Amino acid sequence: MTVAVIGASMTQFGQRDVWIQELLSQAGERCLEDADVAPDDVDHLYVSNMASGEFEGQTGIMNALAHDLGVMPAYSERVDQTSSSGGAGIYEAWQSIASGASEMTLLVGGEKMTHKTTAEATDVIASITHPAEYKHGVTLPSFAGLTARHYLERYDAPRESLARVAVKNHKNGVNNPHAQFQKEVDMETVLESPIVADPLRLYDFCPITDGSAALMFTTEEKAQELTDDYAIITGIAGATDTHVVHERDDPTVMGGVVESGKQAYEMADVGPDDVDVAELHDMFTILEFLQMEGLDFAEQGEAWQVVQNGETEMDGRLPVNTSGGLKSKGHPLGASGVAQGYEIYKQVVGEAGDRQVDAETGLACNVGGFGNCVITTIMEAGQ
Amino acid sequence: MSFDAHRCPNGHVTYPGHTLCPECGEKQTETIDLADRTAEVVTWTTSMATPPGVREPNTLAIVEFDVDGQSVRAIGQVTTDDVETGDDVEPVYAEELREPGEGIKEPESQDWDGYRFQPTQ
């Protein structure tokens, strides 16, 4: 069964004064409205969220949301795959429609984080690491620092090339009314910002964010009955890499990106040259290079040159992170993969407003942990 | 305490150990103590924003041991911030790498002692 996306919503990303249940409800309600679907028509409800229990003490949020939106007795489930919970939610939603188990599936992703200090939020996220890593105080930002140094030294890439990612994504975020930062930054600001994990600095990292996003899925047949503008999920796959990051053969290769990308391309019967727009998981600037290489948008060790050449700018051959990326849009863990889907959906149906690029085929790569779990999704405009 | 890497009957070695060898799926049956060996720094970072109970700044390195011709990597704190890629380091035991109970994990759920890496020159 071909799976279509017929509606999408996202809330303001940033520091929000509502808690997880309300955040999820806001995105869910708006998505029902956007898709013009009645709550009674929802068969499955998935909630992408990494850590509402750890952040807020609230568990069972799929049930809470089902009740608040009045979608009972729909099947409901919370999807946790750390930072790729949103992508995993897209995969679950796709499976529910493709298998025939559901005819109408609502996916809502969200996270409430900003009430914690940076140190506390970093620790919640660092708890995904192996005990042998955690006891040394290893954090996700420190993995980024370790990998960035290795990449720059091995490929003789200039430090400025990483800063270019931050500058580009902040520039794109200016046109995203939902982004946490709608503000440009210049190279000097990035390169002189405080060191977080040497050689990476503050502007190489995404912020801590509250926010939510939602997508509505149905069969292509049903989509054609309901709307003229819909997207098709033509390729989707997930893959897992090692839990212990240093056990990977090559620190600059994210196996989950490579494998999920390969499978998604095969399923969609497209290649990297066919992709018109991509949302990559730029939790750290270095990740944009690693995903570009893992998805064959660039040769290994050469993504930095592609970025330096401007090929991933809005007017380049492959615009990357037209939404502003996690870097400027923000990264509410469970919402991020859904928000990537929101952007690609908007781009392929031609509703991306000031961010619109010429796109019929879009790709989203949602990365959990430090490449530990990855979902790659390819969407195309419906006919 | 020892600094144990784990080996399966097919000779694959990992640090830390796993229930089944990630390479071939056999049970890991043997340990190799890395405590008295030297390793080479593959990459390093100094983390300035550390979680509760972790020293700040926290210099960390991924290092590579040579175990009978096979490379085995480990990650850990470095005893100094004066370190470079390619440096030789030796493991130095520390009773408490971070303060148990300060972070989100239950203090009893894991060990907190281990080995830092100290440059040999």
- The CATH number linked to A50 is 3.40.47.10
Whole-angstrom distance, CA of residue A290 vs CA of residue A255: 10
pLDDT of residue B14 exceeding 90, the answer is yes
Would you say residue A307 has pLDDT above 90?
yes
CB contact under 8 A, A146 and B98: no
**Beta carbons of A375 and A238 less than 8 angstroms apart:** yes
Count the Cβ atoms, other than its own, within 10 Å of residue A365: 29
Question: Which A residues, 292 through 351, put their C-beta within 8 Å of a C-beta on chain B?
Answer: none
Average pLDDT over residues A309-331: 98
Longest dimension (CA), chain A: 57
Is residue A20 within 8 Å of A49, Cβ to Cβ?
Answer: yes
Residue A173 has pLDDT above 90, yes or no: yes
Mean pLDDT of chain A: 98
**Banded model confidence at residue A175, pLDDT cuts 50, 70, 90:** very high
Predicted pLDDT at B121: 78
Q: Which amino acid is at A355?
A: R
Coil vs helix vs strand at A142: helix
A121 confidence band (pLDDT: 50, 70, 90): very high
Predicted confidence at residue A383, as pLDDT, reads 81
Chain A residues near residue B98 by CB distance under 8 angstroms: 135-137
Query: Tens of pLDDT along B46-63?
Result: 999 899 999 999 999 999
Task: Give A193-212 pLDDT, tens digit per residue.
Answer: 999 999 999 999 999 999 99
The CA distance from A101 to A87, in Å, is 19
Contacts of A134 in chain B (CB under 8 A): 103, 105, 110
Burial annotation A30-66 (CB, 10 A radius, 16+ → b, else e): bbbebbebebebbbbbbbbbbbbbbbbeeeebbebbb
Q: What's the pLDDT band for A145 if we cut at 50, 70, 90? A: very high
For A129, the closest chain B residue by CA position comes to B105
Q: Which of A53, A73, A66 is nearest to A106 (CA)?
A: A66
Write down the pLDDT at residue A296: 98
Classified as helix, coil or strand, A81 is strand
Say if A217 falls within a structural domain. yes
Average pLDDT, chain B: 97
The model's pTM is: 0.98
Q: For residue B83, what pLDDT band results from cuts at 50, 70 and 90?
A: very high
pLDDT in tens, A328-355: 999 999 999 999 999 999 999 999 999 9
Neighbours of A140 (CB within 10 A): 20
What CA–CA distance (Å, rounded) separates B121 from B119?
6
Identify the H or E element spanning A282: none
A354 belongs to a structural domain = no
Confidence grade of residue A372 (pLDDT, cut at 50, 70, 90): very high
Q: What is the pLDDT of residue A109?
A: 98
Q: Least CB-CB distance to A138: which of B49, B60, B111?
A: B60
CA distance A127 to chain B (A): 7
Q: Which of B45, B48, B114 sits opposite A146 (nearest CB)?
A: B45
Radius of gyration of chain A (CA): 19
The percentage of chain B sitting over the pLDDT mark of 90, rounded to a whole number, equals: 98
**Interface touch A127/B62, C-beta < 8 Å:** no
Check A137 against B60: CB less than 8 A apart.
yes
Is residue B1 pLDDT above 90, yes or no?
no
Which of A26, A107, A21 is closest to A59 using CA atoms? A21
Beta bridge partner(s), residue A377: A236, A364
Q: How high is the pLDDT of residue A193?
A: 98
Residue type, A275: V
A198 interface with B at CB cutoff 8 Å: yes
What pLDDT band is residue A53 in, cutting at 50, 70 and 90?
A: very high
- Partner residue facing B105 (CB), from A127, A196, A199: A127
Q: What percent of chain A has pLDDT over 70?
A: 100
- Considering only the beta carbons, identify the residue of A118, A197, A246 that sits closest to B75: A246
- Quick check: B40 pLDDT over 90? yes
Rounded to an integer, what distance in angstroms lies between the CA atom of residue A288 and that of residue A246? 20
Residue with tokens 């429609």: A97
Measured CA distances, A175 to A55, A227, A280, A346, A366 (Å)? 30, 27, 18, 14, 22
Beta bridge mates, B40: B64, B88
Residue A66 belongs to a domain: yes
pLDDT exceeds cutoff 90 at B10: yes
Edge-to-edge strand list for the sheet holding A44-48: A75-79, A44-48, A104-111, A211-219, A3-10, A231-240, A373-381, A361-368, A277-280
- Spell out which residues of chain B touch residue A138, defining contact as CB-CB under 8 Å: 60, 75
For residue A286, being part of any structural domain is answered with no
Number of structural domains in chain A:
1
Give the mean model confidence (pLDDT) for residues B2-21.
97
Q: Is the residue at A310 inside a domain?
A: no
Question: Which domain covers residue A214, as residue numbers?
Answer: 3-116+208-226
ipTM summary value:
0.98
pLDDT value at A154 more than 90: yes
Give the per-residue pLDDT at B50.
Answer: 96
Which ranges of chain A would DSSP assign to H, the alpha helix? 20-35, 52-56, 61-69, 85-98, 118-126, 131-134, 140-155, 159-173, 187-192, 220-226, 255-268, 285-294, 303-308, 325-329, 333-349
Q: What is the mean pLDDT of residues A216-229?
A: 97
